[in-house]
Structure 1
Amino acid sequence: MKRVWELSRFEWLLTFTGAYCLTKKPVYLAAMNHWLQDWVYENPPNGGPNWKCCQEVSIRLIRLCLACFLMKEQASPEPALTRLIYESCQRIKATHHYAMAQDNNHGTSEAASLFIGGVFLQQCPTLECDHGTLQTYHDFEKTGLYWLENRIKKLVLADSSFSQYSVVYHQLMLDTLSITERFRAVFKRPVFSERFYERACVATRWLYIMANPLTGRSPNTELKQPFVKGKRTGVVDSIHVIEFDIPYTNDTIFLKRSMLFLQFSLKGIRVALIEPYDVLLATSTPLTVAIPGLVARWLRNKCFIFEVRDPWPELPRAMGVIKNPVALWAMGLLEWSAYKSAHRLIGLSPGIVSGIAKRNIQASRISMIPNGYDLLLFAQDKIKPWHPKGGEF
Structure 2
Amino acid sequence: MVVSDFDAIVIGAGIQGSYAAYHLSKTSKALLIDQFALPHSRGSSHGQSRIIRKAYSKACYAHMMTECYQQWKQLEAEGNIELFRETGLLVLGEEVDPTFQNMKKTLIDNKVPMATLTSADFSKSFPAVKLPKGVSAILDKTAGILQADRALKTVQDLFRRFGGTIRDGEKVVEIQPGYWVTVTTTLGIYRAKSLVITAGPWTNELLNLVGLQLPLKTRRIIVCYWKEKVPGTYGISKGFPCFIRINSGPTLHDFYGLPSNEYPGLVKVCHHDGNNADPDERDINFHLSSQDVNLLSDFLSKEFPGLDPRPAVIEYCMYTNTPDHDFILDHHPDHGNIIIGAGFSGHGFKFAPVVGKVLSELCFGNKPSYDLSPFKINRFWLKSSL
More strand by share: 2
More helix by share: 1
TM-score after normalising by structure 1: 0.21
Report which of the two structures shows the higher radius of gyration computed on alpha carbons: 1
TM-score after normalising by structure 2: 0.22
Greater length-normalized contact order (CA 8 Å, ≥ 6 residues apart): 2
